Amino acid sequence: MAHGNESSVDELLVVATNRALYLQSTKERIRWDALSKAIWAEPILTLTLIDDTGQVVGERVVELGRATDLPAAIHDRVTDSVIVSERADLGDGAAAMLVARRNSDSGQITWSVVLEAGLDPSDPKLMARAGMELAQLRTALGI
Looking at residue 130, its pLDDT comes to: 95
CATH of domain 2-80: 2.30.29.30
CA torsion sign, 126 to 122 to 143 to 35?
Answer: positive
Instruction: Return the domain boundaries, the chain.
Output: 2-80, 82-141
What rounded mean pLDDT belongs to the chain? 89
Cα separation, 23 vs 107, whole angstroms: 22
Cα separation, 40 vs 63, whole angstroms: 10
Looking at residue 127, its pLDDT comes to: 93
pLDDT at 67 over 50: yes
Cα separation, 78 vs 13, whole angstroms: 19
Confidence class for position 2, pLDDT limits 50, 70, 90: low
Cα separation, 31 vs 103, whole angstroms: 7
- How do residues 33-49 score in pLDDT, each as one tens digit? 999 989 999 889 999 99
